Amino acid sequence: MTNPNNIYTKTATLDDLDEIMQVEKSFSEDPKYHASIEKMKARIEKFSEGFFLTYVDNQLAYIISTCCVHYNPKDLSNFISWDHITHNGFLADHEPPVNANALYIVSGVVGASFQQYNLFGAPYPHLLALTQKLKLEYIIAGAILPGYANYIKQNGYLPAQEYAHLRNGSRLVDPLLEKYRRIHFHVPDEHHIRENYYEHPDSHSYSAIVVHKISKHAPGTQ
């Protein structure tokens, strides 16, 4: 992958909606995977400081939206599905909620014409800074397992709980989980593998709740 030179990240405003929707619609031909403009507007209106836009050569390349949630590593009952934890993608009416202790990545989309760039970690310092500003303990996400179905096809059945920890050398076999690993996320245990969390055929609709516990010595801080 190419590492771009002229790159910067800012928070979104309603004036950015047209650009945001262009990127949102570019990454998949299936409209069921596109968030509506109403959802994007709600995310900006309710929690603009957690909606980040990354530009390459002054063109919007990557959008990432977040919300604040309560996370208990021993009780994931509120992580029934992506729809449940994100209020169907519209976020809670009050951000952050009173009991929130985690910044949750609602969605992240790289524009179709920027897939060759290594952008996945670009917003990470901004996510980290916001988490620390809000005095939250974690950054978390519900990650699909895009390599799972293909792995089963080639190698035979393996439970998703085992697949999520499968490595080729030091790297995780699943391409998305490996990207998260590189920016300090991990899957704590088998209970963090959630069935039917988000509909995605290549993942057999399994997702992993990936977690980055923040400390005052977190990477990217001084």
| pTM exceeding the 0.85 threshold for the entire prediction | yes
Q: Hey, is 8 helix, strand or coil?
A: strand
Q: Which domains does the chain have, with CATH numbers?
A: 7-213 (3.40.630.30)
Q: What's at 91, amino acid-wise?
A: L
Site of tokens 């996400």? 141
Distance of CA 45 to the CA centre of its chain: 19
* 3 vs 170, higher pLDDT: 170
Convert the pLDDT of each residue in 13-66 to its tens digit: 999 999 999 999 998 777 788 999 999 999 999 999 999 999 999 999 999 999
Report DSSP state, residue 112: G
Q: Hey, is 59 helix, strand or coil?
A: strand
d(CA 68, CA 152): 34
Convert the pLDDT of each residue in 88-138 to its tens digit: 999 998 878 889 999 999 999 999 999 999 999 999 999 999 999 999 999
Convert the pLDDT of each residue in 68-92 to its tens digit: 999 999 999 999 999 999 999 999 9
